[in-house]
Structure 1
Amino acid sequence: MAVSSAFVVSPNLETSSLLNHHNPSSSPTTLGLIGIRAHPMNNRTMRGLIQRARCEPSPSDAANVSPLKQLKNSAIDRYTRERSSIVVIGLSIHTAPVEMRERLAVPEAEWPDAVAELCGLNHIEEAAVLSTCNRMEIYVLALSQHRGVKEVTEWMSKRSGISVSDIRQHWFLLYNEDATQHLFQVSAGLDSLVLGEGQILNQVKKVDRLVKEKKNGNGRVISDLFEKAISAGGRVRNETNIGSGAVSLSSAAVELALKKLPGPAPLSSATVLVIGAGNMGKLVIKHLVSKGCTRMVVVNRSQERVAAIREEMKSRSVEIIYKSLDEMLACAAEASVIFTSTSSATPLFFKEHVEVLPPLRRLFVDISVPRNVGSCVYGLDGARVYNVDDLEEVVAANKEDRARKAKEAQGIIADESKSFEARWDSMQSFPTIKKLRSKIERIRAASVEKFMSKHGSDMDEKKKDAVEYLSRDIMNRILHGPMVHLRYDEKTGSRTLGEVIENNQALTRMFELEAELLEDKIRAKFDKK
């Protein structure tokens, strides 16, 4: 999705959303443009509304009100008239420099803890983190759009040390359908620096596995969203062939090195060092071999990965030498080209490391985020350093052909997005069905108990059972019609999704279920803590 389609929150957004909560069809952009002065009301009323919009008790009551009570008492109309929102808060290679992305990055090993912390925020029901070298995106299901965004942004700021204002300057913020389509485009490789690259789909699959395995308080919405995103990404690749001939970040890094090295066959004579033998490092090695490199040193934590790569490429005339991390600087002293692709949270090379290396015109190609080569190395004599943000010139060459295929992909994205939205909309009736049955059952049980208190002493057990059976049968017969009209079956198409949504809203109002549904939603949220 193009960055220009992102929505940035205006200063009056929170107040504006309250003024418009009676119009659920209002778009986020519209809400952000309506100012507080446009609404005629006295100052006292305005103060009261703002207090509700902030979801906070008055200072005098704050100490005595539980978090559950605070949420339950605040802006009830907003939470019951508007369903929970899918929100993505992200910074990518298109919007933020690598210096910011590396501070915000969440290592894969820390994804579960990050998701648990996000789900612990007051207005966040579900969450997922997608953090790669090109992006840091947080997907949440929020009880309140604007309070949820505020809490997540503050969490990002606290974790990274970047101010909220700086994050807002470089973020993109998308809601509901826009957030869904963005993730589907990301999964299909349409939002990548290298249009159509396939590695991002593997990252989305990792997030999906985490959501399904760990749960971390997640429910069905975020899980279904990522599952559909994988389906969309797979369809785009299979039906448009957008990935054929598309360079990856690793191949782009090798191409960049070729452009910066002198001579007709620079890799055949260069002393090449590859640091990191994960997926990215493995691809770097493969592309190096395809471009004529016959010998390289690979530094990695474990020898097993390097041995597996060597075995996989035994048919090629290439010498792959394993070295441990302890030998990294000694290997760097002899190398003229150094590729780095590790998950280290701190740089591997600082100014003091490079300054003591033997004088040699070295080329560093760093495709890690956080960066493996510290910014202090940039500009040192004899060191030319390039990172992922410098790969644009390499990938531009074959962009035009893949852009044509990307247009074909948009139809698939729209189709998959529509399918997910229909499923999400239909899911909104599940709590209503459950709550309606529960409420009618309470009325039935109370009526039977009242009847039995007056006439039960004159009845034998058989007659009592008959009364119980009859009352349940009447209840089920009355509920049958409403229950049928609350269910959406995409296959049979017996009623439209719009009709199901209207029926759901009507029954919620008629049976006064709003407060009970909200209480269940909030209580479920706090039960996860």
Structure 2
Amino acid sequence: MNVLVVSVSHRTAPMHILSALAMDAAESAKLLDAVTQSEFIAEALVLSTCNRTEVYVASTRFHGGLEVIVTELAAMAGLAESDLSDHCSVFYEEAAVQHGFMVAGGLDSAVAGEHQILGQVRKALTVAQGEGTIGTTLNALFQQALRVGKRVQTETSIGSAGRSLVSAAADVLGLDDLTGRSVTVVGAGSMAAVAAHTAADRGADVTVVNRTFAKAERLAEIVGGSARPMDVLPSVLASTDVLMSCTGALGVHLMPEDIAATPVREIIDLGLPPDVSVDVEQLPGVRLMNLDRLVSEHADPATEAQVESANQLVRQEVSDFVALRRAAAVTPTVVALRSLGNNVLELEHQRLRQRLPGLEDAQYEEIRQSMRRVIEKLLHQPTVNVKKAAASSTDYDYARALRDLFALDQALVDAVREP
């Protein structure tokens, strides 16, 4: 089973395409069900964040799997397949593994090394597990991706910087010190939680506004702020210095007239689709930083040395993981070969019983064990070597060589693969 990834991200698509592709857990589950109906796709996972939507599958056919993914993605987003294809990046096998590890490590994010992506990857895995679309191939890939992401965070300088889209946007606006300033965070999801923590850590008085008031209360309590329901947002803005909006699909859309009579001067809009109209910058002194501008106009603050240290870690993890996959791929054939050896052994034992009926049981068992040891010794080194060779090279199909040399029945190999 081969790993195939179709990615649409801030690197390949404008924000209106990313907005059309943004999915919540329910929509991701619907897409998972659609793609796994295909005969070409055995497993699937959907990762949808504020700057990417990606479909990971375990596929039996590259072109067949790719066509299914693009078709279903386009249908979900209401886009023409030709329009979507122009914005897709496609990764296959080792390149797919590397991409998955880079994503989990925050190295493919708008802000290199950002931490939030790891939680989003974990959530995507949980959704796919709940839908029953994860098997051994993608489960192994994403369990390892989570470990790689954690290593990047804890073992490299780029991870220890603790970056996030929120902190990057705040830095661009010069909001490094918010002591004594009032910050309103609209939303209570994962991005809003990062915004609330960032504002509180920089000394702000935080107010959380959300449609579900209980969620606003929980987040406000965690950061030591206050909570208000969404229907009083206009009155909250009347005493707000900085607005951070992170709702996306909740339908908040603030216009210049909503800001004009307020003290709000800096706005961070990380909603997808956007929560705040760009026209607010027509107001005197108002500055807006949204996802589109953060991605396209502002350089990532990570240094080349930081990025390279993290990339080196990922490259080694990819190499190790791919080697294990290659060795595992030949394992069913090795097991089938040993099974063939045992079958030959049992047949010869039966013949020995018939030809030498006078042997005592102890004598028979001693001969039987001697024959078993001979077979095991003959097969041990070749099977060890073939696993090593398969792990270190993609240029030769060692499993096929074993099948051809020993005339192994493919059905026997396939039976070993059965869970």
TM-score interval (norm. to shorter)? 0.7 to 0.9
Within-5 A mapping of 1:257-296: 257-258=173-174, 268=180, 272-294=183-205, 296=206
- Share of identical aligned residues, percent? 26
**SS state at 2:244 partner:** strand
Relative distance call for 1:140 and 1:517 in structure 2 (3 A) is farther
The unaligned stretches of length 5 or more in structure 2 are none
- The residue identity in structure 2 corresponding to 1:417 is V
**Map of 1:59 onto structure 2:** none
Q: Distance in 2 between matches of 1:223 and 1:413?
A: 18
Deviation at 1:288, TM superposition (A): 2.5
- The residue identity in structure 2 corresponding to 1:485 is P
Q: Distance in 2 between matches of 1:475 and 1:119?
A: 45
Q: Structure 2 residue aligned with 1:341, among 241, 246, 259?
A: 246
Q: Distance in 1 between matches of 2:329 and 2:226?
A: 58
**Map of 2:167 onto structure 1:** 251
Q: Structure 2 residue aligned with 1:182, among 87, 99, 104?
A: 99
Relative distance call for 1:313 and 1:207 in structure 2 (3 A) is closer
Alignment check: 8 A CA contact 2:267 2:288 kept: yes
Deviation at 1:478, TM superposition (A): 4.8
Alignment check: 8 A CA contact 2:255 2:279 kept: no
Q: Distance in 2 between matches of 1:187 and 1:337?
A: 31
**Map of 2:207 onto structure 1:** 297
The answer to whether residue 51 in structure 2 is matched with residue 134 in structure 1 is yes
- The residue identity in structure 2 corresponding to 1:169 is D
133-142 or 426-435: bigger deviation? 426-435
- The residue identity in structure 1 corresponding to 2:208 is V
Q: Distance in 2 between matches of 1:240 and 1:358?
A: 41
Alignment check: 8 A CA contact 1:208 1:226 kept: yes
TM-score under structure 1 normalisation? 0.64
- The residue identity in structure 2 corresponding to 1:277 is A
- The residue identity in structure 1 corresponding to 2:316 is D
Q: Structure 2 residue aligned with 1:379, among 258, 279, 286?
A: 279
Deviation at 1:423, TM superposition (A): 0.9
Deviation at 1:275, TM superposition (A): 0.8
**SS state at 1:141 partner:** strand
Relative distance call for 1:293 and 1:430 in structure 2 (3 A) is same
**Map of 1:398 onto structure 2:** 301
Relative distance call for 1:357 and 1:105 in structure 2 (3 A) is closer
**Map of 2:69 onto structure 1:** 152
- Over residues 459-494 of structure 1, what are the superposed CA-to-partner deviations in whole Å (9 max), with x where a residue is unaligned? 9xx99xx99x9999979965774476335799xx7x
The answer to whether residue 142 in structure 2 is matched with residue 226 in structure 1 is yes
Deviation at 1:412, TM superposition (A): 1.5
Relative distance call for 1:398 and 1:518 in structure 2 (3 A) is same
Deviation at 1:158, TM superposition (A): 1.5
**SS state at 1:230 partner:** helix
Relative distance call for 1:347 and 1:438 in structure 2 (3 A) is farther
Q: Structure 2 residue aligned with 1:497, among 391, 407, 411?
A: 391
Alignment check: 8 A CA contact 1:253 1:367 kept: no
Q: Structure 1 residue aligned with 2:3, among 68, 82, 86?
A: 86
**SS state at 1:205 partner:** helix
Relative distance call for 1:520 and 1:159 in structure 2 (3 A) is farther
Deviation at 1:321, TM superposition (A): 2.9
Deviation at 1:395, TM superposition (A): 5.8
Q: Distance in 1 between matches of 2:33 and 2:338?
A: 33
**Map of 2:401 onto structure 1:** 506
Q: Distance in 2 between matches of 1:174 and 1:515?
A: 29
Q: Distance in 1 between matches of 2:380 and 2:177?
A: 72
Alignment check: 8 A CA contact 1:189 1:200 kept: yes
**SS state at 2:208 partner:** strand
Q: Distance in 2 between matches of 1:222 and 1:247?
A: 28
278-287 or 497-506: bigger deviation? 497-506
Within-5 A mapping of 1:23-38: none
Alignment check: 8 A CA contact 1:201 1:233 kept: yes
Q: Structure 2 residue aligned with 1:161, among 52, 66, 78?
A: 78
Alignment check: 8 A CA contact 1:258 1:267 kept: no
**SS state at 2:279 partner:** coil
**Map of 1:36 onto structure 2:** none
Deviation at 1:384, TM superposition (A): 6.5
- Over residues 274-321 of structure 1, what are the superposed CA-to-partner deviations in whole Å (9 max), with x where a residue is unaligned? 111233223322333444533x4321244454444444444xxxxx33
**SS state at 2:318 partner:** helix
Q: Structure 2 residue aligned with 1:360, among 261, 271, 281?
A: 261
- The residue identity in structure 2 corresponding to 1:338 is L
**Map of 1:486 onto structure 2:** 383
Within-5 A mapping of 1:33-48: none
- The residue identity in structure 2 corresponding to 1:326 is D
Alignment check: 8 A CA contact 1:115 1:216 kept: no
- The residue identity in structure 2 corresponding to 1:407 is E
The answer to whether residue 113 in structure 2 is matched with residue 199 in structure 1 is no
Within-5 A mapping of 1:402-413: 403-413=304-314
Q: Distance in 1 between matches of 2:60 and 2:70?
A: 15
168-177 or 475-484: bigger deviation? 475-484
- Over residues 198-224 of structure 1, what are the superposed CA-to-partner deviations in whole Å (9 max), with x where a residue is unaligned? 12122223334455x537243222112
Q: Distance in 2 between matches of 1:144 and 1:472?
A: 45
Q: Distance in 2 between matches of 1:144 and 1:488?
A: 29
- The residue identity in structure 1 corresponding to 2:382 is H
Deviation at 1:89, TM superposition (A): 1.0
Deviation at 1:146, TM superposition (A): 1.8
Relative distance call for 1:312 and 1:105 in structure 2 (3 A) is closer
- The residue identity in structure 2 corresponding to 1:150 is E
- The residue identity in structure 2 corresponding to 1:341 is C
**SS state at 2:160 partner:** coil
Alignment check: 8 A CA contact 1:86 1:142 kept: yes
Deviation at 1:227, TM superposition (A): 2.0
Alignment check: 8 A CA contact 1:112 1:216 kept: no
148-157 or 276-285: bigger deviation? 276-285
Relative distance call for 1:168 and 1:518 in structure 2 (3 A) is farther
- Over residues 95-133 of structure 1, what are the superposed CA-to-partner deviations in whole Å (9 max), with x where a residue is unaligned? 111211121122135444433433322111222222111
- Over residues 248-292 of structure 1, what are the superposed CA-to-partner deviations in whole Å (9 max), with x where a residue is unaligned? 111123334547xxxx988856x6431112332233223334445
Relative distance call for 1:413 and 1:470 in structure 2 (3 A) is same
Deviation at 1:171, TM superposition (A): 1.5
Q: Distance in 2 between matches of 1:481 and 1:520?
A: 24
